[in-house]
């Protein structure tokens, strides 16, 4: 049984969070999001001319995302370059941002999003998506809402919020569930599942994720307010 978390947090408690915008001076918008020991920095460029031209859409913007983990982001030095996991996470971020941004208001244009993980200790795709959302808002893009993302899961027999690397590797078994919301609309824009879980426990995990995402959403909004007020 998993009765006490490795870092002594409550099962429904997020790790310490830091969030700020305007961290990359030459970008149209940028943000840094840190949760626990996981940190992501996102930079947004555009809207601008679509290159190469075959990616252009006459009725909406084209979002192109590049996700990468810095070689120094993990204790065992990450291999430089883009691998299959990086490509998958880039697609996940792109899909969520296409739901968040009014892409139909920006036809025949390109929005380029670059996300770099500078520290990794679980939850990198959630931190990266949250940073990317903040960066898009910082760039002044028309958005339905911010995206707030967090990992939830079942560790042993307990449903927990914001997993750490130790919890992901728990010998008693872990199911990792990255989830993201357009919070004010209650819309899920990311839901992945790595492991096995019952339908009832999945419902509990989603509701716990919604609670955590609401806390992250408020932190995102406050970071943007500090930038513009």
Q: What is the pLDDT of residues 31-62, one digit of tens each?
A: 999 999 999 999 999 999 999 899 999 999 99
For the chain, give every domain's residue range.
17-228
Q: What is the pLDDT of residues 144-190, one digit of tens each?
A: 999 999 999 999 999 999 999 999 999 888 999 999 999 888 899 99
pLDDT at 215: 98
In whole angstroms, how far apart are CA 209 and each of 13, 59, 75, 98, 103?
Answer: 11, 34, 28, 21, 27
**Confidence class of residue 80 from pLDDT cuts 50, 70 and 90?**
low
- pTM score: 0.93
Six-digit token pair at 210?
């919604």
Q: What is the pLDDT of residues 12-32, one digit of tens each?
A: 999 999 999 999 999 999 999
Inform me whether the pLDDT recorded for 72 exceeds 70. no
- Give the closest residue to 137 by CA, choosing from 7, 8, 27, 14: 27
CA-only gyration radius of the chain, Å: 17
Burial of 61 (0-12, 13-18, 19+ CB in 10 A): buried
End-to-end CA separation in angstroms for the chain: 48
**Confidence class of residue 198 from pLDDT cuts 50, 70 and 90?**
very high
pLDDT at 79: 59
**Confidence class of residue 84 from pLDDT cuts 50, 70 and 90?**
confident
Q: What is the pLDDT of residues 102-151, one digit of tens each?
A: 999 999 999 999 999 999 999 999 999 999 999 999 999 999 999 999 99
**Confidence class of residue 1 from pLDDT cuts 50, 70 and 90?**
confident
Homologous superfamily (CATH) of 17-228 is GHMP Kinase, N-terminal domain (3.30.230.70)
Inform me whether the pLDDT recorded for 77 exceeds 80. no
């Amino acid at each position: 049984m998993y009765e006490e978390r490795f870092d002594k947090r409550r099962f429904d408690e997020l790790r310490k969070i830091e969030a700020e915008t305007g961290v990359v001076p030459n970008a149209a918008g940028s943000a840094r999001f840190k949760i626990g020991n996981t940190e992501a920095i996102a930079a947004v460029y555009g809207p601008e001319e679509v290159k190469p031209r075959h990616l252009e859409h006459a009725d909406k913007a084209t979002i192109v995302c590049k996700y990468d983990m810095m070689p120094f982001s993990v204790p065992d030095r990450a291999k430089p370059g883009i691998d299959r996991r990086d490509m998958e996470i880039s697609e996940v971020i792109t899909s969520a941002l296409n739901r968040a941004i009014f892409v139909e208001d920006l036809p025949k244009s390109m929005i380029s999003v670059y996300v770099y993980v500078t520290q990794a200790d679980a939850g990198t795709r959630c931190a990266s998506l949250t940073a990317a959302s903040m960066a898009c808002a910082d760039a002044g893009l028309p958005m339905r809402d911010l995206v707030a993302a967090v990992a939830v899961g079942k560790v042993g027999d307990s449903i927990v919020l914001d997993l750490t690397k130790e919890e992901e590797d728990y010998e008693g078994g872990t199911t990792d569930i990255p989830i993201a919301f357009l919070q004010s609309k209650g819309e899920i824009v990311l839901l992945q599942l790595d492991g096995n879980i019952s339908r009832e426990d999945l419902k509990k995990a989603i509701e716990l994720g919604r609670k955590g995402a609401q806390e992250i959403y408020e932190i995102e909004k406050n970071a943007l307010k500090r930038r513009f007020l």
